[in-house]
Amino acid sequence: MFLHVESVTFKKDYELRIEFNDGIVKDVDLSRELYGEIFEPLRNPDLFKQVRVNEETGTIEWPNGADFAPEFLSEIGREVKQVA
């Protein structure tokens, strides 16, 4: 099974709550990942809060085209619960 993001919610600062298609929900802090040409603009809180799930790619994405692989997000995330 390929890992996909089902939903994303902005929590605070650079932290998101992400639900994956395997039923696991994780809090993901991206504050240390926002470097490089495509990710540095996300340091702007107003842009960072515009995160959405791209249904076609199955991961999170911002209006500037920045995205992270679901596997990476799961790896760095802290599990908060499993959806029944």
Q: Which residues form the domain of 70?
A: 5-82
Question: DSSP characters for 19-80?
Answer: EETTSEEEEEE-TTT--STTTGGGGSHHHHTT-EEETTTTEEE-TTS-B--HHHHHHH-EEE
Q: Into how many domains does the chain fold?
A: 1
Least confident of 36-45, 50-59, 60-69, 75-84: 75-84
- In this predicted structure, the answer to whether residue 84 has a pLDDT above a threshold of 90 is no
Q: First and final CA of the chain: distance in angstroms?
A: 18
Q: How far apart are CA 56 and CA 11, in angstroms?
A: 24
- In this predicted structure, the answer to whether residue 53 has a pLDDT above a threshold of 80 is yes
Whichever domain contains 77, its CATH number is 3.30.2020.10
Task: Give the pTM.
Answer: 0.92
Q: What is the pLDDT of residue 83?
A: 60
